[in-house]
Amino acid sequence: MAATDTSLRTEAEITARVKALEALLIEKGVMTTAAVDRMAEIYENEVGPQLGAKVVARAWTDPEFKARLLDDASAACAEMGIGGLQGEEMVVLENTEKVHNIIVCTLCSCYPWPVLGLPPNWYKMPQYRSRIVRDPRGVLAQDFGFVIPDDVEIRVWDSSSELRYWVMPRRPEGTDGMTAEQLEPLVTRNSMIGVGPAAAPAA
């Protein structure tokens, strides 16, 4: 996200506060450095957008699984061993040539952790949460460099603690014949939030 000076300062302040809190908890014996490292490892390697990418890539290559995913995302993800806290009730929204979906949580930062990991800082910022609802086309273009044609409808979905949305981006052109494993790296976190496209395949 092309953040403004204000949002950059805010992000730096949040980072500093997190580090200070982490240091305090370790100093007081509430948690250990090893525990902090383990939590980071979980969200980097075991829970995160790479899992969502696996789900999307399979849906792109398996029509029957795609139908199940759109019908009941939590159950379809469970087929792949993906689920858990903050993913009990998930809904997948399919982007098409005529409809582009974006997710937000206007009240706080509700987010489908099992498939996307922890939300990025900008997702939690009041600026994003309010502006994406008022002017989604402008925010995508100005902040993310992602221009949506005028003839494409944009739908903004407001997640809650009970229901968490995420996006199945359009499959990139030039990927016919690619396997699900080859497609996975093209599925980005931002594309599953709806603020960017899936990546183009390498030439």
Q: Domain with 104 in it: what CATH number?
A: 3.90.330.10
Do both 108 and 30 map to the same domain?
A: no
Residue 45 clears pLDDT 70, i.e. is over it: no
- Known binder of ligand: residue 105? yes
Catalytic one of 74, 77, 110, 191: 110
Whether residues 189 and 123 fall in one domain? yes
The lowest-confidence range among 68-72, 132-136, 162-166 is 162-166
Instruction: Respond yes or no: is residue 77 known to be catalytic.
Output: no
| Rounded mean pLDDT, 76-102 | 89
At 24 the pLDDT is 79
> Given this model, what pLDDT does residue 10 score?
61
**What was the pLDDT predicted at 159?**
92
Q: Is residue 135 part of a domain?
A: yes
- Which whole-number Å values give the CA distances from 59 to 56, 165, 177, 200, in the listed order? 5, 16, 14, 17
Q: Is residue 203 part of a domain?
A: no
110 is in an annotated binding site: yes
pLDDT, the chain, mean = 87
Residue 111, pLDDT > 70, answer yes
- 31 with 71, same domain: the answer is no
- The structural domain count of the chain equals 2
pLDDT at 11: 61
Any known ligand binding at 108?
yes
- 191 a catalytic residue: no
Confidence of residue 27 (pLDDT cuts 50, 70, 90): confident
Q: 162-180 pLDDT, tens per residue?
A: 899 999 999 999 999 999 9
Question: What is the per-residue pLDDT for 200?
Answer: 95
Range of the domain at 11: 1-46
175-202 burial, b at 16+ Cβ within 10 Å, e below that, comes to beebebeebbebbbbbbbbbbbbbeeee
Q: Is 34 left (phi over 0), alpha (psi -120 to 50) or beta?
A: alpha
Q: Which residue has the higher pLDDT, 1 or 134?
A: 134
* 109 labelled catalytic: yes
List the beta bridge partners of residue 165: 91
Q: Is 161 a catalytic residue?
A: no
Confidence of residue 117 (pLDDT cuts 50, 70, 90): confident
Task: Determine which one of 7, 74, 77, 105 is catalytic.
Answer: 105
- Which of the pair, 51 or 13, is modelled with greater confidence? 51
**133 shares a domain with 79:** yes
pLDDT of residue 69: 98
The catalytic residue among 108, 130, 160, 161 is: 108
